[in-house]
Amino acid sequence: MRVVVAVDEPHGGDLATALELEGLDVVAVLPAAALAADTAETAEQDRAALRGAGRSGAGEAAAMLFAADAVVLEIGRRTITAALVAACDRAAVRILPLSSGSDGERIAREFGLESPVAVDVPAWQLAERLSASPRAAAVRADSSERASTAPRVIAVWGPAGSPGRSTLAVELAVELARGGRHIGLIDADSHAPSLALALGLADEAPGFAAACRHAELGRLDPRELTRISAPIATPGVDVLTGLNRPSRWPELSGPRVDAALMVCREWADHTVVDVAAPLERDEEIMSDLDGPRRNAATLAALRAADLVVAVTSADPLGISRFLRAHADLRATIGATPVAVVANRLRPGALGIDARGQVRRTLERFGGIEDVWFVPTDARGADAALLAARPIGEIAPRSAIAVAVRRFVGEAVVPVPTVQRGIRRSRGPRAASGSDAGDAPPRGLRRRDAVATAGRARR
């Protein structure tokens, strides 16, 4: 994990050295107020550029946010601003606040941040806090009892209004495939299937409908799934495409979907299922209780899932739709863990502190405490759509890909906590032997860089 330490000296340098000894990669050490001042200056430059009176561009300190996964920030009235929180939202960077007084808790709450820790906290505790996000604790605790040697089935659901279900399903499959895993990506949307078109696959392939037919006859096995699936350029991801015509929805009956997903547990390490939005049960308006149901595939996939990724669009309309449908989702899946993802996060749709507003609204009206955020990146999404490839493959440094990668590491395949006292290898550039004696101490190089940056600012 790459960390920016924004803590005043001399404690900032000492804390950075201790965090590196705990295995974290400290990319910069800055004064506590440097980020707030730099983002304020950058925001003013952006406003001037819009008026035609200046140029836009991130400052030196603000630019470091894009190279980090988290910022350890000593919070105070002069060190945390709405512009800084918005910049971290855009860069998908987590803010871990440090505070030496009771005022820090109130400031963190005002800006929608997590509870601060003491400034003099031991480095190993801070490293554990950074490596194991508290927001992922609830999902991991709920999933621990369900964990087994069988692969997991992950259903990606979201309310009506195109919150980005299919996009998140594709990116989730791509990130899960890292590390040599075999991932099955299934389009079980009986209303508007889209994975084949989004990934440049032939929509005339047998796909998931054929798997369901074979499962009903008892002829489906992992070898047959491999035959009827379509691989994409990302190694390890095989796609079972959806219906080429929505009118074929009766082929995706509930028992067929249940049987097919049971075989998928043996076929792939993880199976990601893209489902439709509607959760209504129409038995009360149907005289034929045994007839097909349009939403049967969605309901069956959600009930069979080990984890439901619930996607909401991070805007007032999307949050309202999500909260209305969340109760129906819970009634459908029971105690199955749910990981909520706020997609397309942007300050323009929610104003100042977009992330904090979404978190507070979901907690107040839906009782949802754990939320992961995926920022807007129109350029990366458009490039992937044009190339008919996943964003994580066409633009691996996109803010969307980075946010999904973090979500996978926190909520789906949690990364083990960093072992204390073990320093990570720096790769081929790490000094060894006589070369190590020629290199100055790391702490000295860092302090020299900070001093140089401070003189340049003055």
- Of 290, 299, 283, give the one whose Cα is nearest residue 333: 299
Answer yes or no: do 141 and 38 share one domain: no
Same domain, 170 and 109: no
Specify the pLDDT at position 120: 84
pLDDT at 40: 65
Cβ proximity of 191 and 201 under 8 Å: no
Q: CATH code at 54? A: 3.40.50.2300
Tally of structural domains, the chain: 2
Token pair listed for 44? 């003013």
CA separation, residue 92 to residues 120, 376, 389, 398 (Å): 26, 10, 22, 10
Query: What are 382-430's pLDDT values in tens digits?
Result: 999 999 999 999 998 899 999 999 999 888 887 544 333 333 333 433 3
Residue 418 lies in a domain: no
For residue 263, the enclosing domain spans 137-412
Asked if residue 175 belongs to a domain, the reply is yes
- Residues 377 and 330 grouped into a single domain: yes
183 and 270 together in one domain? yes
For residue 420, being part of any structural domain is answered with no
Kindly state whether residue 417 falls inside one of the protein's structural domains: no
Specify the 3-state DSSP secondary structure of 46: helix
**CATH code of the domain containing 347:** 3.40.50.300
Do 406 and 283 reside in the same domain of the chain?
A: yes
pLDDT score at 290:
58
Q: What is the pLDDT of residue 1?
A: 79
For 50-108, the pLDDT digits (tens) are 345 444 444 566 667 777 888 888 888 888 887 788 778 777 788 888 887 767 877 88
Q: How many residues does the chain have?
A: 458
Distance, in Å, from the CA atom of 386 to the CA atom of 364, rounded to the nearest integer, reads 39
Give the pLDDT confidence score for residue 255 in this predicted structure. 92
What CA–CA distance (Å, rounded) separates 347 from 157?
24
**Which residues sit opposite 364 in a β-bridge?**
none
Sheet holding 94-99, edge to edge: 25-30, 2-6, 70-74, 94-99, 117-118
Q: 35 and 78 share a domain? A: yes
Q: Looking at the structure, tell me whether residues 159 and 222 fall in a common domain.
A: yes
Confidence at residue 263, expressed as pLDDT on a 0 to 100 scale = 95
Whether the bond between 10 and the residue before it is cis, its omega within 30 degrees of 0, is: yes
> What pLDDT shows up at residue 53?
44
Tell whether 322 and 432 lie within a shared domain: no
Residue 35: the pLDDT is 83
* Intervals of the chain under pLDDT 50: 43, 46-51, 53-58, 133-151, 284, 416-458
Query: Do residues 107 and 153 share a domain?
Result: no
